[in-house]
Structure 1
């Protein structure tokens, strides 16, 4: 009997596999020809085919799970966590079971959806990680269109659970079909789903499994997005990298081509899935629904040949399409754009997808069909149907008596159209010229000019008799020329100023038009760095518009904002503040997302920071960002600049942890928006690398980022461009920190010396960048025990800082502190103590007790006192440094552990074993217990210092 059943199963399997690759209308004949009247065999074959077809909409991979126990009685109650009482099963997925449960807590009762892993899945680390990921993602998503996470954790048995908002509703497609909803109402409902997905994207979360089964509509018509079980956070570069936890977890019928091909994902994957859902809502079926095997379906999706929804609807049998709906061409175009095979050809974001649907509902031209003139005219007519009809009736009524007037009107309109066309052409020409001049890289142009001039001078000075030219003297002469100066002067004098001189003559009869062109040229001056000239021209624009335009006119407001920016960049923050204050009333009357509103408020905050009012500037920046973030995409240029301003303010306030957290999000957004080669992207990346180096001792990652920026800048600007040297210098700073063996130190010494010489040639010996690079050389010389050379170079750095910045400037004090540290390491404690106390007094006065630099100087003074044998004074200084660093940075910060190690040694010298034991237990033992292979280079060094302090 068993042999007979096995043979029947094998036969049924062969027939089902053969039927998988034939068209649906040919399948019945194929099955009938194989089963030859065997009803049992035919039922087995059709059961297998039905199981295969269900894989279209099932979440992959399928994992065998144990049968769910009956959870309606005491057994179910015993498995429920905390104060939950399970009522009934709601559903089952590839990862777990979902139950309707009631939460009873101190008289409070609430129905929730309680989710557990399958019993058979509890042993899978992959599914455990996906379950934990779902909880983390839901915890950061608070939106009316997303089912909320209410509770979660682990039961006493170790089994994880999630308690989510219970959504009582229908799948979105079934909800629409049950109410026979018209097309526009379906789209309006779908737009609410788009809002929820866009909110998730703004919070850097990609859902990756959007389908009707994960969108439930409540009785009041509110759609709720469910099941973030395979969602992922957007990583650096705007992508979700493939992981073991979800490499194949997808719903095939709604998956994008890149999901099937297991490529790195972006938000475009959700755009594609939303496109499939919209296709199903408007056409009543999915794309490729006629394909019945996973193999054929996957090939079709990757191939990208999608039938338009309207054509798919027409191909349905008449009984399945009653009443027959009509799908407009606009909807076809929108859906097909969302389902493009190439990511770059789809909508750039869900917000752009939704905007096109809103344009359709408003009867405006949609982006998916942009460029078709007759189509745009037709949409205009549809939007204005009744006004145009009324106008036509009036024209017909008076046509006989107003023929002459009508002809005159036609001529007037033709003249008006011609004038409008010419105005449009003029605006395009001005915009092109402005953007062309603004895109000129002044620094690159200036360096090219200087190199050319230097080569020309060398050629002219060459002596036929073979006498050598003093190249060092020539290099020194050219080093005194600011690279951007010649290029800026040439553009300003021979291009912009020449055009400005023509305005007064050629546009004397059109002062407002002249003002428009003057403002455009002033923006070019702003871009190339001619701030004083730009401010002068913008004042003239303001005067003209103030005489001829209302006080709140947008053009007048725009000119004032540009003027404020020119004064701010030109180093006149007080005057800039007055100008910005004059813009605030008019800007406040505009919508929040209006570019002028944002520019006025963010510009005023930048000026506050320039005036030293950092806390007030930060308050304004955070308040403006909190209002803008929900209304604009994260990649909007205004939002990005505001966040960059906030990073600079946080850094100046010493809140570097917050600044770094902000930059970690900004760098991938800049790369996504502007590209990796854009100057703003490179500057933002280098700022992050600087914080990683100076704040968190993450030298390896900082080195990698700095080297990437240096390579790109060197290709574009050359090796000696100041921007290239800046990135090369930061890379060298990290290499100095990481260099351990003599060979590596010698290689780093050679590279760093080349950078210093480059700075001296290009910027001069006293330039801050030159002196910063010399600081790194001092550190390297110290690591090589070449203290006499290091001290001599540090004295030169201190002299240069004092000459250019004065004795009390922060950078001068830093140089003096470095000198004190070197003198201490070389055993010159008397001078080291004098220098250290001088620095400490100045920093306490200027920056306060809790500034990182002040606390570092307390630690320096403690080291000097310890070296001189003044253990009591060393104890007090190290204790002050440890208390401040623990309070502001935390107990496990590298700087905190550094101070703790030194205080521990000092307390042992003073035989204060009880106090030493407290320091050991609180600070040193936790870091000693860390695994070295999990730490970065900076923390490994700190751990080694802690081990040395306790004698291990």
Structure 2
């Protein structure tokens, strides 16, 4: 009696299983791991094991094998039986089969009895996949999807168990997304560079949300990033485990089901070689490949055009080809961003998707990107270690570097005048200054003067370019960016400044006028609108006519709030909108009103933390909002300001402990510590009050010591010390203090005021001070006179 021959369906199912196991096995590098893996997956099925080993051997030995029809399985997958239309699965009715994978089929369904209701996509485990490990992976996927809640991610609707003839089968229902791959949409809509980058930022926002929820996508590619008819971006297939991701490779790779090569093009080296644990940087790499394809029109490396072993070798040993080699019109900054995102050493990539998105956003606003192509901080630091230099000498070295800029600028002028095709070269000079040198020098102690020189050079060069006929939007945006940088570094803008408020206002007013004109010509460009909002907001802090400051602050907030409503997936706009609310809340407190805008700002920051996780940037925003609301509540006499001060100190202190020690964290923490000290002083807790005062003073004194020329840091140090003065005065007024203790506190308050006056003056004549510095100096002198009078009266009483 002869044995029964397997049916065609059985043979096809076995081929699918062999191909799936072979793909998973190819990712294992060690032979011992492979042997254990194939034994575990094939169990006692010697025939299946032989098929798997044959496929692996051919894939590694024969160039181009993976692209041959031998392992392209669309006819097998397409022939697998699916559910008939009308079949009931849980509370749903099947409309049609959308696609099939190695582990599950995906159907379009509608609620049972409601054929006109909104359709959803139902993912149903295949009968042949209902084994324990696949079921566990499916449950993990559902659990993961349940943690994701973002407008850019296809949401989970429902999950359950379908009792079919073949047995229990798990299913999950998800939002049905009708769209096309992002690359196809960009090509069909003929999107320009800025539009493509704006679209890409929406993808980053969705992926960043998933990362904050502990989910790594692992399979980012155009077919998993769809754009709908309403131009909404939706990222699909989140939450899959490593094995599920490999299952998807069998079905959705190069556009035709069953091709085994497409997803490889988006794999990071560590993901492909599986030599170390995977982290979020594998998604950063895949996003880099996606952006490369979005801008260049093809992949940086195409595994379909070479053997799989050669592709893996290149992935491990060679950097991705520069995009400007195939797309020379891509700006240099964007090329640098791509190179960093796709670096084969993940330690040199962006540490997270937020960092990648932040640099894209900076480029769109013509701000400095955070890539250190010319690492001045490193070079100067190395020189400082070789020959220890004082802060002034380091600044002199930075200024000496600046001296070479006029020659570069003159060469750029001549290039523009001689040959129009070199316009990009000249703009690159400005971008190098604005996007690299300014940010690098910002990290150096004592570099404020040098940064102003760089900014002045950038403005001179770009002005000459525009006057020479460079009126394209990028040149005009660069002109605005250069003027913005000059305004920021010149005077009172809330940034590290040179103290020249008049020059700052002039630069920023000119930048506002240019940004408004640019928006008239390009009214639909949100990148230019974002740039205008930033300049308006900086102008609000540059002093002068208070009504003008109020007007620009309100306009900036209005633009950011509008952008946040239109693009809720863009973190930057929402952070900026929240920040404007923080500052307007402080103004409400100054007017004697309850700071309702501060309340709204904290609500928005809290919502951002829920959506994106407690990132350092969001925690800094929360800490800063707590500090400003505490001061606003203090001004209107509401006791809740103590709670805000303590909460702000807790958030900012944790950031400092984690190594996030930028000047914003330090300054806001110092203010919170001072406010807490003032509370303790009014309660008579002398030890705690003085400890808080000492801590707040130490924070800002050390910061100022790193750059005594920084006008903002001088002002903030003096203001923090003014709280230390108030602590001493509160202790002197405490009813439990003796006459001797009061005299001591008043003397200390006078000493603090002398230090504050010295900080503002910094060995300068009063005529050399900015308007804000003159105002502070006058108020400090008045305060000293009042305290001295109080001290003299106390001394007279004692006598």
Q: TM above 0.5, one fold?
A: no
Normalised to the residue count of structure 2, the TM-score between the two structures is 0.44
